[in-house]
Structures are given as structure tokens and as C-alpha cells.
Amino acid sequence: MSAWLPQLTSIDDPVADDFWSYENDDGVQHIARVTIGRPAPIPGDPNGDWYCPLRIEHRSTKSEILCMVGVGPVDAMINAARVVSEHFHELRKVSPRARPIS
């Protein structure tokens, strides 16, 4: 992540939050929480660009929050949604509205 983007540890203002089930390459069923946060201006950015926080559980070994950048709030949110779409397009048997595992 670039130094000029916020280093987030949580998404405190989600605009979309869901659990999606999917099957990995080994045929094992998983459930991942997908959270997209409210877009915000990048602090101190001279161009006035925005970022949109995104977290997809199990996307990597770390539970990191990505900051997807755009030229405005809608563009940043579209970029976050595109990452979600592309990530789950690579998997099998994806289904939104899955029930979280307790």
C-alpha cells in the first residue's frame, strides 16, 4: 500500500457488508466476509482523489484492508466493486448472502 494512503485497521463506516460462500480449487467450501466502506477524500492529495476501503476475508494470508483509489467517490467505489467481482470470478460456486459460520 502506498504511504500516501491511509493505513486502516478497520472499516468503521461500511456501505456494503455481506458474507459470500465459495468453493476453492480443492473443492472445499468457504465463507468470506466482504466489506466495502464509504469513500473518502485522500488526505492531502493535491489532485482531490478519493479512496474506498475494501476488505475480503481469506483474500490473502493477512487480513488487510485495501484502499481503492478513484478520481472521485463513485469511481473509487466502482474500483472497489471491480476488485470484489474479479476476485470471486476466479472462484467456483460463489453465492452472496451466505450464512456466517458461528
**Considering the domain boundaries, does residue 9 fall inside one?**
no
**Considering the domain boundaries, does residue 2 fall inside one?**
no
The tally of domains found in the chain comes to: 1
Question: 28, 40, 45, 44: which is closest to 54 by C-alpha?
Answer: 40
Residue 101 grid coordinates: 459460520
**Considering the domain boundaries, does residue 3 fall inside one?**
no
pLDDT score of 1 more than 60: no
Average pLDDT (83-96) is 84
Contact call for residues 12 and 37 (beta carbons, < 8 A) = yes
Domain boundaries, position 73: 14-95
pLDDT score of 3 more than 80: no
**Considering the domain boundaries, does residue 66 fall inside one?**
yes
Residue 83 dihedral angles phi and psi, to the nearest 5°: -65, -45
CA distance 52 to 68: 5
Which pLDDT tens digit goes with each residue over 31-65? Answer: 889 999 999 999 999 999 999 999 998 765 556 89
Average pLDDT, the chain: 87
